[in-house]
Every structure is written in structure tokens, then in C-alpha cells.
Amino acid sequence: MDQDLKRIASELRLPQDSRERIRTQLASCQRQQEDIPMKKTLLKTRIPLIAAAVILAMAFTLTAGAVAVQFFRNDIIVDSRDEIPDPADHDTAPSGVAVTEPNGNPPFPLEQIIESRRFKSDGWLSNETINGGIVTEYFEWDQMEVLSDDPALRSRRVTREDGAEKLEYTAENPVSLVDTLTGRVTFDLSWMGEHYDYVPDANFSCVVSDKAGQYVGDFFTALYAKKDGSGYIDIDISNLAEADHWAQGYIVDGSYETAYYYTSADGYEFLIRMHNGNVWVDCSTRHTTVSIYGAYLTSDEIEDILDNLQLSIQE
């Protein structure tokens, strides 16, 4: 029964505008709740109450006709492509739509992921590794200055001629990177470190500012492996000052082996998709994206990670 209740959101089919208003109300409740730790076992016992609260929120939203700004921008699960709206038919619809589906390939081997993720650390003293960014306008860079080459926490300043700047960091342990971010998104990796093995030097963060010194965005990524070596977890978190260009994504039910919504203990809605050993987990808001790509993980393992991340997003 617990599994059915956890996936209740994927069984409810509401009009898009109603679903968005409900999401916003739930996000508002999360921001107002007291910060009291709750064990997952206790959370499961309260799922029927949560489901009842959702039903009440549905009733209130549909009768009151309130207009609210959508907080979560995750892909929307639909029964068929016929349910995907044409943006031209709705004044308030996003600028475009996209349909997400798996390619069917199995996960990349961990060794291949590690080689790719250690690119920055391995080339820390080289100008050949300075390019890259979280928005296309800030992808190309001209030069860099190494501030520290200590494996515990490397740092360097990357610049270009127009005055834009990117502070880059890599670390043996991803925990060392958390404080390099701006605080617009906060999270805790303590539980991850206890239950999974971090991959040394496969962890990276950066903060980008424009030519006037104004914040553009920050990015964090960390790689963990299961202790028995049977799978891995790649965590990516990004925040952008400007995020107005948005295409709503859709998923046709049944295109993935598993696709459902899960609300974490912190009150954030995640879309979990699983197919052929791959796991994709996303929580998207206007400015922030929290993504997890995993290999050979169960639903319970993913939900445990989300419940212990202690995520907080400042929009």
C-alpha cells in the first residue's frame, strides 16, 4: 500500500492549470512549515493525511479560481500525446513544449563517468580546461589564475576580456565544495557520505558573474558510488539569476518503465524516471534545477537520498 500511496500523484490526471496551482500551494505550505526533522517511517504513516490535504487543496483551488505563479516546473506526465497542449492556444502557456523519452541504452560504466568528471581536476593547471559554464553566454573563457592547487580544495579565477569572471573549484571530497556556493540553494551531504562512497576529484563547483560583477549563476556536481560497486549517483545542482526561457516538458505515461512524482521530506516535488537500469530525478523551479542521474538504484534508495538531502531553495 505504501508504494501505491507514494505514487498517488502519478495516478491523478488534472488539467494543467489546476495542477500548477496545487503545486504552488504545496510549495507555499513547505516554506511556512516549522523546521522539524521527520523520519521517513513517520512520513509514510502520514501519507493518507497528505493525500487528504491534496484533495482539499484541489477543491479549494478549483472552486476559488485563484491565480498563482507556478513554483515547480517539472515535466508533466500525460496519458497520451493528444493531451499535450499547443502553446499558441494559451496566453499563459510556456514559450514551447518538449516531449521526454528514454533512448533505451543501459547506463554508462562508472569508469567512463569518472574519467569525464575528473577533467577539471586532472587539468587544473592548464588553460585547456577553463571553458564551460551553465549558460551559453558564459561558456567561452580567455585565461585563468590558479589560487590553490591543494587537492582538498582547488580554486582558480577564470576570466575573459569583457570582464566576466568564473570562480572554479574542485575537491577530493564534495563536502568541501558546499561552502563555495552562494547559498541560494543549500543542501547537506552528510547522509550521502555515510551511505555511499564519494569518488575523489570527480567533484566540481563554480560561481559566474558578469562584467559588472553581478551574479549570473552557480553550479555544483558530485559523484558517489554504491559501497558494493553495483551502481552510482551523480548529483547536479544549478541556480541562475535569469531563467525566463522555459519550455514545458511532457512525458507520455508508459514510455518509461517507471515515472512518478515524489515529494521529499523537505517538501520539494521530484520527478523520478527509471528505464533499463538508468535513473533520472529532477526538481525544477524558475531559477534552480536539482538533478540526479543514477545507475542501478531502486526507488527506495532514490527516495532515501532525497529525504536526507536537506534541500532548501531560495527563489
CA atoms of 126 and 168, how far apart (whole Å): 13
Handedness of CA 29, 34, 38, 44 (dihedral sign): negative
One DSSP character per residue, 150-168 reads -TTSEEEEEE-TTS-EEEE
Question: Where is average pLDDT lowest: 98-102, 164-168, 282-286?
Answer: 98-102
Q: Which residue has the cell 502520514?
A: 46
pLDDT of residue 95: 60
Confidence of residue 87 (pLDDT cuts 50, 70, 90): low
Q: Judging by DSSP bridges, how do beta strands 96-99 and 247-252 pair with one another?
A: parallel
Could you report the per-residue pLDDT of 183-216, keeping only the tens digit for each? 999 999 999 999 999 999 999 999 999 999 999 9
Compute the average pLDDT of residues 26-42: 39
Could you report the per-residue pLDDT of 272-302, keeping only the tens digit for each? 999 999 999 999 999 999 999 999 999 999 9
User: At residue 53, does pLDDT exceed 50?
Assistant: no
Confidence of residue 35 (pLDDT cuts 50, 70, 90): very low
pLDDT of residue 245: 58
Handedness of CA 196, 197, 202, 206 (dihedral sign): positive
Could you report the per-residue pLDDT of 117-143, keeping only the tens digit for each? 999 999 999 999 999 988 888 999 999
Could you report the per-residue pLDDT of 6-19, keeping only the tens digit for each? 333 333 334 444 44
The answer, as to whether pTM is greater than 0.85, is no
Let me know if 227 is exposed, middle or buried by CB neighbors in 10 A (0-12, 13-18, 19+).
exposed
Q: Where are the beta strands (DSSP E) in the chain?
A: 76-78, 96-99, 143-148, 154-159, 165-171, 185-186, 196-198, 203-209, 215-226, 232-240, 247-252, 258-263, 269-275, 278-284, 288-295, 312-313
Share of the chain above pLDDT 70, in %: 74
